[in-house]
């Protein structure tokens, strides 16, 4: 379905981004991978995805360079998935200002810089798909996540504006809002909970799900990848400016 399309997925060396990159590639898209990781892991991924960039997307000039490099190596960028993200949890009084800045730069501002860099060529071809990976935390809040919740609400707002500015074109912009997906980002929170409460990691997983996600099941990166593929399809042309929850009824409560 995506033969001939060229995609960039930020933060795709792990978790949801890798799930999306694999799902797009399985449909025939050429995908540029981006992110950090251990050398041995990166080596394997570079075999699977020959186009790779280690751009640090906390830096605006590196985000713009990533889009330029993808355009050179793949011949263009038709699909942009803004996925890279980090987390830090602490009450606001002790939340390090440096973590606030990093989360806003990586989880929010990078989306702005990447979209600004990729949109002109999408407009030239009158075809494009922009998918921003927000979160349930783009729709509702939880304590101890002030920067993350602010950034993800920002992503949902940015998505709506880009959708309005492209509404009469063949370019769509949407946000996916996952609940809990068991990736390294969430595993860290599970491990911290297990250590703090002196419970097993398995119990910490059950507790985490029970607290927020009524389905009591994690979403998988493959399931998020399948939704991204659908958003790239012709059938999804009039889904614009949406913030689509994939959260086991978390935000239905």
Q: Catalytic positions, please?
A: 148
Using rule CB under 6 A, residue 135 touches ligand NAD: yes
Using rule CB under 6 A, residue 180 touches ligand NAD: yes
Report 115-134 residues binding ligand NAD (CB under 6 A).
Answer: 133
> In angstroms, what is the minimal distance from the CB of 247 to ligand NAD?
8
What is the spatial order of strands in the sheet that 6-9 belongs to? Answer: 52-53, 30-34, 6-9, 79-82, 128-133, 171-178, 243-246
Lookup: tokens for 240: 């614009």
CA distance 132 to 155: 7
Q: CB 201: neighbour CB atoms within 10 A?
A: 12
Using rule CB under 6 A, residue 36 touches ligand NAD: yes
Using rule CB under 6 A, residue 184 touches ligand NAD: yes
Lookup: tokens for 224: 């998020």
Using rule CB under 6 A, residue 106 touches ligand NAD: yes
Tokens 């935390």 belong to residue? 137
> In angstroms, what is the minimal distance from the CB of 190 to ligand NAD?
10
Q: What is the DSSP letter of 217?
A: S
Q: Which of 42, 65, 86, 236 binds ligand NAD (CB under 6 A)?
A: 86
Residue closer to ligand NAD, measured from CB, 11 or 128:
11
| Residues ≥6 apart with Cβ < 8 Å to 242 | 159, 163, 174, 175
Which positions from 194 to 233 touch ligand NAD by CB under 6 A, shown as an x/- string? Answer: ----------------------------------------
Residues in contact with ligand NAD, counted by CB under 6 A, come to a total of 29
Q: Contact region for ligand NAD (CB under 6 A) — 15-23, 117-125, 158-166, 199-207?
A: 15-23
Query: SS in 3 state form for 176-194?
Result: EEECCECCHHHHHHHHHHH
Using rule CB under 6 A, residue 15 touches ligand NAD: yes
Using rule CB under 6 A, residue 108 touches ligand NAD: no
> In angstroms, what is the minimal distance from the CB of 101 to ligand NAD?
12
Helical spans, DSSP H, in the chain? 15-26, 39-48, 60-74, 97-103, 110-125, 146-165, 184-197, 201-212, 221-232
Using rule CB under 6 A, residue 166 touches ligand NAD: no
> In angstroms, what is the minimal distance from the CB of 33 to ligand NAD?
9
Residue closer to ligand NAD, measured from CB, 36 or 237:
36
Query: 79-82 and 243-246: which strand pairing?
Result: unpaired
| Residues ≥6 apart with Cβ < 8 Å to 241 | 159, 160, 162, 163, 164, 167, 173, 174
Which residues here bind ligand NAD, judged by CB under 6 A? 11-17, 34-37, 56-58, 83-86, 106-107, 133, 135, 178, 180-181, 183-186
């Amino acid at each position: 379905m995506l033969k001939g399309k060229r995609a960039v997925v930020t933060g795709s060396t792990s978790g949801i981004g890798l799930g999306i990159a694999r799902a797009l590639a399985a449909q025939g898209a050429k995908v540029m991978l981006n992110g950090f990781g251990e050398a041995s892991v990166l080596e394997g991924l570079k075999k699977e995805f020959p186009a790779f960039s280690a751009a640090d997307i906390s830096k605006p000039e590196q985000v713009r360079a990533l889009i330029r490099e993808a355009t050179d190596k793949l011949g263009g960028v038709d699909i942009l998935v803004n996925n890279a993200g980090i987390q830090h949890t602490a009450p606001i009084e002790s939340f390090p200002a440096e973590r606030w800045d990093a989360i806003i730069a990586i989880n929010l501002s990078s989306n702005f810089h990447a979209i600004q860099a990729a949109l002109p060529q999408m407009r030239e071809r009158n075809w494009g798909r922009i998918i921003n990976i927000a979160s349930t935390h783009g729709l509702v809040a939880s304590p101890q996540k002030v920067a993350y919740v602010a950034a993800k609400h920002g992503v949902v707002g940015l998505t709506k504006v880009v959708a309005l500015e492209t509404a009469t074109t063949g370019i769509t912009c949407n946000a996916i809002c996952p609940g809990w997906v068991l990736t390294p980002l969430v595993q860290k929170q599970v491990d911290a909970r297990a250590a703090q409460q002196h419970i097993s990691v398995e119990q910490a997983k059950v507790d985490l799900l029970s607290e927020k996600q009524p389905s009591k099941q994690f979403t998988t990166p493959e399931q998020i990848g399948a939704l991204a593929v659908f958003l790239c399809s012709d059938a999804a042309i009039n889904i614009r400016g949406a913030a689509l929850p994939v959260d086991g009824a978390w935000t239905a409560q």
